[in-house]
Amino acid sequence: MKHAAQSVPCAVVTVSDSRTRDSDESGKIIMEKLKSAGHSVIDYRLVRDNVGEIKGAITADLENSDVKVIICNGGTGIAKRDVTVEAVCPFLEKRIEGFGEFFRYLSYEEIGVAAMMSRAIGGVAFGKIILCLPGSSGAVRLAMDKVILPQIGHMVWEVER
């Protein structure tokens, strides 16, 4: 991974009907972990569990030439209101199947078979990485520490080459 980008400009999108900027612990965790690892957060949005709002946030970050990675949290479960996957998938030109698979594998080790209800996804859209995580702080910590931060620079390098 000698070619991996050392500092990646990111956008964070929290999807929630109940959180505010003050109470968005998962969004704060993502941003703190990115910054601690030397990456930058150049956009942060909090939107409701609404396909139109989620698509609007993703579109804005895809149009921002400074953003290389978009990390969404929330709305990836199986409840009726969980629509992040439905909002994001139409943008994806390539899916990173292993992202969701590996995240669920690691989640299984922590929470057991309930991990199968996570619809965490990753993919590439317009030359940018989009990763969608569950909204729980435990899931966000796990994804950031074990999946995203170890590979974020390499993923950006691969997409841009």
Torsions phi, psi for 15 (to 5 deg): -110, 115
Q: Are 79 and 47 in contact (CB under 8 A)?
A: no
Which pLDDT score, from 0 to 100, does residue 1 have?
61
- Give the model's pLDDT for residue 4: 81
The CATH class given to the 9-160 domain equals alpha beta
pLDDT bucket at 3, cuts 50 / 70 / 90: confident
Distance CA 32, CA 11 (A): 13
Q: Check if the beta carbon of residue 118 is closer than 8 Å to that of residue 103.
A: yes
pLDDT digits (tens, 9 = 90+) for 87-130: 999 999 999 999 999 999 999 999 999 999 999 999 999 999 99
Cβ atoms of 73 and 135 within 8 Å: the answer is yes
pLDDT at residue 47 tops 90 = yes
Least Cα distance to 137 among 29, 1, 36, 50 occurs for: 29
Q: b or e along 20-31 (b: 16 or more beta carbons within 10 Å of the residue's beta carbon)?
A: eeeebebbbbbb
Rounded distance between C-alpha atoms, residue 99 and residue 158, angstroms: 15
**Torsion sign over Cα 138, 152, 5, 91:** negative
What mean pLDDT value characterizes the chain? 97
pLDDT tens readout for residues 130-159: 999 999 999 999 999 999 999 999 999 999
Domain boundaries, the chain: 9-160
